Amino acid sequence: MRFLLVHPAFLGDTVFLGPAVRALKARWPDGRVGVVVSPRGEAVARQMPGVDEVFVFDKRKRDAGLRGILRLGARLRTFRPDVALVSHPSTRSGVVAWLSRAPRRIGYAPLCNDRLTLDRGRPFIDRSLRLAERAGAPAAGRDLRLDPPPEQASYAEETLRGLQGPVVGLVPGAEWGTKRWGEARYADLARRLSATGASLVVLGGPADRELSRAIAAGSGAPLRDTTGNSIAEALALLARCDLVIGGDTGLVHCARALGRPTLLLFGPTDPARHVLAERERVLRVPLECSPCHGHGPERCPLGHHRCMTDLQVAEVERQARALLSKEAGNGAGGRAGA
């Protein structure tokens, strides 16, 4: 059997496909699983246990328009999928599955011949798990999993060389503005954690470089700025962090999948849509207006953004130190892959 999972969206969305991939492999060990992801999800998909082939759909640039999607369809037909699982509800995703010529197309999008209704209140991993179960593969676990990219091990080692104490990764950016805690708060947190002997590494995309500089200037702490590196390089660094702190955003969910202790700062989005592991903690401010959005709007609908601004630095520091202390007490400290 050959399965094609279609979800060309955000980085975190690719991470959330993992449990469905494992379910398919557990049911059909000799089967092959391909995934259709956006460019930002490629490195994650290649490090996901059970994925055999990765198809990148650059719907904004290289594969934009009719010609682009037809080219993708031709590539998918060489995979010869028996079943397409379409966990992204867009018409474009439905067209991608249809162009693959998979005889059975299970999903939430138009053109699926076994179409289901998407329950947006369920955890994200359940979107694709439900489709795998419909195909005949019961869940084989709901935890997220990624392997560190071995080809980036030397990069991570060189980048972190000379750091002392526990390494704390900070992910201050996010795709949507209301998911960001703010540079002044991250600067204060960096100053406090640095004073305890921790080493701070800032991770993010090219758009987060100015944010990282502002955090460094505001904290006065010696930060390692790795913003703007590739996703594969970021994965290698995350795998060696003793703790990762950030909002509801892709790199933070990658850290979770890599098995790193993670402190998630939630504001406009609902933490109930995530299945948390033992080494993961959520911090949020209980407000009547929160959560207010599925993925977080660019601006607070009420204009105050209290779901993030009321989240106190002292409490984040306390939880961070508790997680680091617990890891050290369990003998689980130290950098993975080091």
CATH superfamily placement of domain 150-329: Glycogen Phosphorylase B; (3.40.50.2000)
Per-residue confidence (pLDDT) for residue 132, from 0 to 100:
98
Per-residue confidence (pLDDT) for residue 249, from 0 to 100:
96
DSSP string, 115-127: E----TTS-HHHH
Between CA 277 and CA 121 the distance in angstroms is: 19
pLDDT digits (tens, 9 = 90+) for 279-319: 999 999 999 999 998 888 889 999 999 999 999 999 999 99
Per-residue confidence (pLDDT) for residue 336, from 0 to 100:
44
In the chain, CATH 3.40.50.2000 sits at 2-135, 150-329
Per-residue confidence (pLDDT) for residue 296, from 0 to 100:
85
Per-residue confidence (pLDDT) for residue 337, from 0 to 100:
43
Between CA 9 and CA 191 the distance in angstroms is: 35
Total-model pTM: 0.95
Ranges of residues in the chain whose predicted pLDDT is under 50: 334, 336-338
Average pLDDT, the chain: 95
Per-residue confidence (pLDDT) for residue 295, from 0 to 100:
83
- In the numeric block, which tokens belong to residue 250? 């892709």
Residue with tokens 């010529």: 101
Between CA 241 and CA 148 the distance in angstroms is: 12
What does CATH list as the number for 2-135?
3.40.50.2000
